[in-house]
Amino acid sequence: MTTMESTCTVCDGTGWKIVERAGLSGAERCVCAAATRARDLKESSNIPPNYEQASLDNFQMPADNPVARQGLGTVLMQVRSFTREFPTKTRPGLLLIGEPGTGKTHLAVAAMRALLDKGHECLFYDYQNLLDRIRSGYDAASGAADREAYRAALDVEVLLLDDLGAHRVTDWVEDTVTAIITHRCNQKKPLIATTNLTDEERVRDFAMPGGEKKTIRERTLAEMIGTRARSRLHEMCRVVNMPAVEDYRVRRVR
Ligand SMILES: Nc1ncnc2c1ncn2[C@@H]1O[C@H](COP(=O)(O)OP(=O)(O)OP(=O)(O)O)[C@@H](O)[C@H]1O
Ligand SMILES: [Mg+2]
Ligand SMILES: [Zn+2]
């Protein structure tokens, strides 16, 4: 802290304090240095403004639906233990799967915030936006930030990829996603990801106008990001399946 009114009284703003141990004095990191680091990390973490407040503590349980309440309670516990135990040797990542509006991004950001508080460097990327930036990075006219995006996705300590698979698959997309996930998997670098694609083959019945029913096979994660990326995700992530709950965005406006 550098401003007058917030200068740390313990270390006088140096980030170091003198400690006496067994008659010897030495320097030790002051707690304010950790706080400053957490703040700097948070500022560069790219959390979108509408998730600025998302935390594990303000994740609400539906009062009117006991089944959903229990399901979300379990999910919240899983995410909490993920952040508490982070980083584990096996499966250091987290994959949240579920329907739109069930709170996946909220929980992913909340988990990321808990890791930032623990001093881990984290970066939020919307999947589609990351792919767009990587693609435009090849463009000579693009800014340095776009060219950096791919490097950052590979190298940052913890990467949050939001809405994985929300992009039409091309060979280019599949190769790029596989490259990022493979690199991170090989380097044992944690990934937090959310998706509303199903992980297992699933069909769904739709009522058509006129009363007839149509059965549609849902697109799967493997189809959208490729089987190799999907396989590695399972290798490196704890998988959390969101329960069937009403879309929070709909519930909120009622
Ligand atoms: N249980 C909850 N308690 C508090 N806020 C919630 C909860 N669930 C969702 N929200 C809020 O509702 C909005 C939608 O949730 P969120 O974006 O996390 O859904 P999502 O599962 O990521 O949806 P999508 O698949 O469309 O990306 C966000 O503003 C989020 O903070
Ligand atoms: Mg989301
Ligand atoms: Zn201090």
Instruction: Tell me how far the alpha carbon of residue 98 lies from the centroid of ligand 2, in angstroms.
Output: 9
Q: Is the Cβ atom of 83 under 6 angstroms away from ligand 1?
A: no
Whole-number pLDDT of residue 140: 67
Question: In terms of pLDDT, which residue wins out, 194 or 176?
Answer: 194
Find the mean pLDDT for residues 47-61. 95
Residues 6+ apart with CB under 8 A from 10: 17, 30, 31, 32
The pLDDT of residue 2 is 44
Q: Give the pLDDT confidence score for residue 154 in this predicted structure.
A: 93
pLDDT at 153: 92
Nearest C-alpha neighbor of 242 from the set 101, 145, 131, 128: 101
To test the ligand 1 pocket, which listed residue (53, 72, 80, 106) has its Cβ within 8 A of the most ligand atoms? 106
The mean pLDDT value of the chain amounts to: 89
Q: Place 4 in a pLDDT band, splitting at 50, 70 and 90.
A: very low
Q: Categorize the per-residue pLDDT at 96 as very low, low, confident or very high, splitting at 50, 70 and 90.
A: very high
> What residues contact 16, with CB distance under 8 A and at least 6 apart?
27, 28, 29, 30, 33
User: Domain 46-253: what homologous superfamily?
Assistant: P-loop containing nucleotide triphosphate hydrolases (3.40.50.300)
Band of residue 100 on the pLDDT scale cut at 50, 70, 90: very high
Q: What mean pLDDT comes out for the span 19-43?
A: 87
72, 105, 197, best to mutate for ligand 1 pocket (most atoms within 8 Å of CB): 105
Over residues 97-123, the mean pLDDT reads: 95
Residue nearest to atom 14 of ligand 1 (CA): 101
Average of pLDDT values for 13-38? 86
The residue extents of the domains of the chain are: 1-43, 46-253
For residue 72, give the ligand 1 atom closest to its CA.
Answer: 1
| The ligand 1 atom nearest the CA atom of 163 | 27
* Tokens describing residue 130: 């990351």
d(Cα 126, Cα 80) in Å, to the nearest integer? 23
Both tokens of 220, joined, read: 């799967």
- Cβ of residue 165 lying under 6 Å from some atom of ligand 1: no
In whole angstroms, give the CA distance from residue 224 to residue 219: 7
Distance CA 237, CA 222 (A): 15
pTM comes to 0.86
What are the tens digits of pLDDT across the range 181-195?
999 999 999 999 999
